[in-house]
A and B are shown apart, each in its own frame.
Chain A
Amino acid sequence: MSQVKPVVLFETEGSYPYSGGGVSTWAHILCTELENDVDFHLLAITGNPFVEPRYKIPKNVVDTIHIPLWGVEEPVHYYDKTMPFSGQIEKKANTTREIVKELFLPLFKDFISCLNDPFQDVDKISDVIYGFWKYFQHYDYKITMKEPILWYVFKEMLTDKYVDNYDAELGDTPKVIDMTFGMRWLYHFMMPVSAPIPKEINVSHSTLAGFPALASIAAKYEYGIPSMVTDHGVYMRERLINVGRSDMTFFSKKLLVDLSTMVTRAVYHTADQISPVTTANQKWEERFEADPKNILPIYNGVDTDLFKPTPKPSKTEGVPTVIAVAQVFPLKDIETMIRTCAIVCETIPNVQFTVYGSLDVDPDYVQGCRDLIDELKLNDNFTFGGFHNNPSMIFNEGDISILTSISEGFPYTVIESMSCGRPVVATDVGGIKDALEDCGILCKPRAPKEIAEGVIKLLEDTDLRIELGNKSREKVLLNFTTDRSVKNYLESYNELAVKPRSPLKETVKTESVLKLLKHLKMSKPVYGD
């Protein structure tokens, strides 16, 4: 193996180190566990600038480039610490209308053509993203993006695509507000493309295949730095679900999804390694340009010393107890869990279902669940436990665990329960099968009867429950430990860090980008060069 210490540009969005949650926990474990083996430069995207790290940053995190997408008037100065503000002023002065017209406008036109057809040649999309990065290393982001000519080109290209060549199937035409938001989103979401790339890095690792990985694309083009992407969920799938359901106009949704689509495709296309946390997402990844030979799942891991089997505490002793750990909101389908409880009660009247997790995510949904509990007269059998101050003990309170989600990635709660030797009855969605196969019970989603049968079977058959519990623990020890997960990442970093570098800028074919590169080669160096 190599002698090169991996120095990783670790790219996050809405998570580590400024927010809590599963991805942040995973990221923190990774950084902390690799304290002696890997140095990290964080590139963290947040919504606003006023956030504080939620975690104690380990020593090997040598730098944080914090990019707030909103709330900063001079964004580049906020995150580009390599240049004093006087240098930024000089960049502003250099960003003349002629420069924008001559160098940026062709890039922008290509970019919008990609946005209008995000499934076109992915090489072109990647080239243009690199072109953006290269341009913004020399010229000011805000002044450029505010140039009126870009707005008019944007308008013309949207009109050409959606008005002049009206596609009746879409069932709508863009409104002025779509254009306003569309262009503002470009300004905000593309900000990471103007971030400087630390020269000392030798690997880039994005925690999702979206906007933070723009830096990976640039690094790959400029320096040939190998990159990897971790997919906890599938970014595009989640984007399609969340944007699709949002309260926006049709074209605002479309522009946002198309922007994400082109970025995601470029990210997958340029990534050397795509590591989903489960095999279940591969079909989605492949649809967005992920090369199957680059897909190498790395499962999440659990601390098996912390999550270990212990006897049930006195408060649940003698009571058939089913534990769930889930935030109470529709994707977790708690209503099905309640209906399951009702069916189980018919056979095991003293069964106790307890759901630990936040009740604040969707108060209306929580109320609906409470109403259902009242309606089914389950107040003695089904309770919301809220926050638990000792997560590792939660699963040991029960005989078994349950998860009724209708959509999942690779949930920690399942492997944590398994690590505690408590078998799980869960819906067969996302990557749950990877964890539960042969050691738990998989059911159809939204099928309370089937789920209840699984619960009853495990609660009534003690031998089976113990057998599956033991198997679960064994499976975790074998496949899903933190050590193993972290070791897999370290191996990937080590391999990527010594991988021969071949900067993709040598392969650029897009005219607008070639023109920019030629211009920059011939022009005198500007500040910071």
Chain B
Amino acid sequence: MTSAGDVKGNSGEKGDSASLQPSDGEGQKTVSQNPSALKVLWRNRYARVGLIITAAFFIMGFVGPLVYPKPTIDLAHVFAPPSLQHPLGTDYLGRDTLGDIIYGTAYILEVTFLAALIGTGIGVIVGIASGYFRGALGSLLMAITDIVLTIPGMILILVVASVVRSSNPLVVAGVLSVTAWAGFARAVRSQILSLRSSLFIEEARLLNLSSFHIIFRELMPNVMSYTAINFIFSVQGALFASVGLYFLGVLPFSAYNWGVMLSEATSFGAFLAPSLAVYLISPIAVITLFTVGLIYLSFGIDEVFNPRTRR
């Protein structure tokens, strides 16, 4: 039951840029051998750019609101073009667009990172459990994974969100993770299956080490690189999906963010305003920049966990 399907599930996943090779005994010590993960990332040209962009978004999200004035309603200056006072112009209520972006960042960061944490966490647990514990439990977990894997995520997310209708970051993150974990669980399982038969795991078994030790000390370090890359791609997926849900107006607008901006930019007759372009493009540009940053960051992750890929 583990032949064709597994190979496909593995090669078809998103992390094709740097999928982890099942490694021998050396692989497990890589984390401690690192002088500093940041240093390794910094040495890779792409990862450096990605790191800077990602860090900039964190600064914008958590420091920005402390230094940039909160946008206020100013009906005398709606849809104002960019100026010194309003670098990106103003929205349909005369609020500063740059301020809208900055004040919407923290919520997006919270939701996307929580969603990635939940999705990746469930994926690792299900993947390792179904790969390590063969038999009934493993088969059951894989059957569930197979089913969830074939459900188109966005549609199910939309429907669940339409019933839940909450903008609480944890709830939204949970909704976004409804199907996101399955692809990763399958990939981890394939990794575990191939690691299980490798020499160092057999030795660990012969030494009568506990399952706990084998899973956390021997197997986990070998799927760390893959996990980190999946985490980054999950943040990216949750970014598109969460902003999309707000854009469609599925989630309540009680939490202000880029998706609410997009939704408002396209309603309220704003399409007729002459200076809409900057107001409309700002949130799209921010999402795109963040995504590029995340993708570039992922280029360097493999080098952090796997010294042999370093240059």
A and B part of one assembly:
no
Chain A residues in the interface with B (C-beta under 8 A): none
